[in-house]
Amino acid sequence: MAYRATGRRQSEPIAKELKVLLVEDSRTYALALSRRLEAELRLPIVVCQSLNELHEVVTENRAAYTMAVVDLNLPDAPRGEAIDFTVQRGIPTIVHTASYDLETRNRIMERDVIDYVPKDSAFTLETVVATAKRALANRQTRILIVDDTAATRKLLAHMLKVQQYQVIEVGSGDEALSVLEDNPDIRLVVSDYYMPAMDGYELTRRLRRQFASNRLRVIGVSSSNDRMVSVGFLKAGANDFISMPFIPEELQCRIASNVETLEQIELLHNLASRDALTGLFNRRHFFESAGRLIEEAQAKNLTSAVAILDIDDFKQLNDSHGHDFGDQALAKVARYLAQSVEGSGHLLARIGGEEFAILFPGLSAKEAMRLSDHIRLDISHEILLVDDRQITLTVSIGVAEIGGQGSLDQYLVAADRALYTAKHEGRNCVRVAP
């Protein structure tokens, strides 16, 4: 075996590692690419220089490899035998090749590979790394295929599964709407036009009434020669259109482009709704989301509560130990708060300075106070080290119950008054607004 750039952390058991195979006979190129892959994917890279070495490492533990980047031509595998070896063993494979022409392309695409990258530019390393990152990210993306022809569904599903997407198949528009209701994490729908009962246009229009384009992308497909079919899809609200029969590379690029658009929108939304220092939601997001959560609780005849939390003596701590310490204190409290509310449905945000707000949808003031007191107590056990000195953090919390009347601002004012009472009565305690 040539060398292994595994980078395993000592605390991780070897059997639990997922590795990436790099099969390349050029030592210089393999070293450069393995370093880039390991840095970007944060996975250990196992490098082989021949088909013989590939046999050796995969036989040891086939299940350990989550992906392979394989050179098309090796000294002992001149016709792509290494690609066949990884694909046949169920290892998702990216091909890179020094020679590229139509015949080579056809040889590669006969196999079920994720993609191929020619070694013909200064950006080859970047392209291979980007392709690998995209394939790994695709595993988190669910796509719904809607087509009444089973053979077409299976073909399209197979092509997308090779690209590592999670795929669900249905045969009608009604089934599609039902599946989307049960699977809100579906990000993209690929729909045929000609379907009984509900055609692709009508399905697209109904999807657009329920889902905005920044939440769900829709791609129309059809084997029709009528170019107005694509116009009909786009007018109905689809984001793209692909003609059948599919050219695999075109399908891959169009799907990837729409998924990347969703990711960019999500990134921009996070930048707009997150606090830069703590990573928590910011004041703007809190006010935008709180009303909806309160209304949902009220529709179930449930009360809600809101708490405002403030780090005790924060200004004094800042003045005594510097702003870097203040940032550390805010970040530490934020991390603990995030862990405390994770998966609970509660809404947590930093609303300014050393103040945090927590909305407890569906909880009474008494229940919110009990949870808040657990949070307060646990934070008081946290310690920050400053110049070898141990600094204990404490917080004060004010809680207000949200009834059927009044605005969120009014309840936040009530919680803030309760917080002031907690400060006045000695800090490191929780008080409830009367």
Q: How far is CA 260 from CA 133, 187, 265, in A?
A: 12, 11, 9
pLDDT at residue 4 is higher than 80:
no
Interatomic CA distance for residues 20 and 9, integer angstroms = 16
Query: pLDDT tens, 345-375?
Result: 899 999 999 999 999 999 999 999 999 999 9
Buried b / exposed e along 362-373 (16+ C-beta atoms within 10 A):
bbbbeebbebbe
**What sign results for the dihedral spanned by CA atoms 58, 63, 68, 73?**
positive
Beta pairing class for 45-48 and 389-392: unpaired
Are the C-beta atoms of 262 and 231 separated by less than 8 Å? no
At residue 82, the pLDDT reads: 95
* Nearest CA-CA partner of 135 in 194, 183, 62, 69: 69
At residue 13, the pLDDT reads: 34
DSSP string, 32-64: HHHHHHHHHH-S-EEEESSHHHHHHHHHH-GGG
Interatomic CA distance for residues 145 and 147, integer angstroms = 7
Q: Report cis status (omega within 30 of 0) of the bond before 248.
A: no
Are the C-beta atoms of 72 and 83 separated by less than 8 Å? yes
Residue extents of the structural domains in the chain: 3-129, 139-270, 283-432
- Asked if the domains 139-270 and 283-432 are classified in one and the same CATH topology, the answer is no
- Residue 426 burial by Cβ neighbours in a 10 Å radius (0-12, 13-18, 19+): exposed
- The residue type of 154 is K
Beta pairing class for 186-192 and 142-146: parallel
Are the C-beta atoms of 91 and 65 separated by less than 8 Å? yes
Encoded tokens for 19: 């590795």
Query: pLDDT tens, 29-82?
Result: 999 999 999 999 999 999 999 999 999 999 878 789 999 999 999 999 998 999
CATH topology of domain 3-129: Rossmann fold (3.40.50)
Question: 3-state class of 316 per DSSP?
Answer: helix
β-pair partners for 308: 357, 398
At residue 17, the pLDDT reads: 63
Task: Return the CATH superfamily for domain 139-270.
Answer: Response regulator (3.40.50.2300)
Percent of the chain, pLDDT > 70?
95
- Order the strands of the 430-432 sheet from edge to edge: 347-352, 355-360, 304-311, 395-402, 430-432
Query: pLDDT tens, 95-140?
Result: 998 878 888 888 898 899 999 999 877 789 999 999 999 999 999 9
* Nearest CA-CA partner of 198 in 222, 224, 172: 172
Query: pLDDT tens, 198-257?
Result: 999 999 999 999 999 999 999 999 999 898 999 999 999 999 999 999 899 999 999 999
8-state DSSP, 244: S
Q: Which residues fall within 8 angstroms of residue 382, CB to CB, at 6 or more apart?
A: 332, 333, 336, 392, 393
- Residue 226 burial by Cβ neighbours in a 10 Å radius (0-12, 13-18, 19+): exposed
Encoded tokens for 46: 């196992």
Are the C-beta atoms of 343 and 283 separated by less than 8 Å? no
Encoded tokens for 41: 């994917």
CATH topology of domain 283-432: Alpha-Beta Plaits (3.30.70)
Are the C-beta atoms of 307 and 366 separated by less than 8 Å? no
Interatomic CA distance for residues 352 and 22, integer angstroms = 48
Mean pLDDT, the chain, integer: 90
Query: pLDDT tens, 325-347?
Result: 888 889 989 998 999 888 888 99
Number of H helices, E strands in the chain: 15, 18
Interatomic CA distance for residues 226 and 218, integer angstroms = 20
At residue 3, the pLDDT reads: 33
pLDDT at residue 391 is higher than 60:
yes
Q: Which residues fall within 8 angstroms of residue 365, CB to CB, at 6 or more apart?
A: 303, 305, 399, 400, 401, 432, 433
Question: 3-state class of 377 per DSSP?
Answer: helix
- The residue type of 54 is L
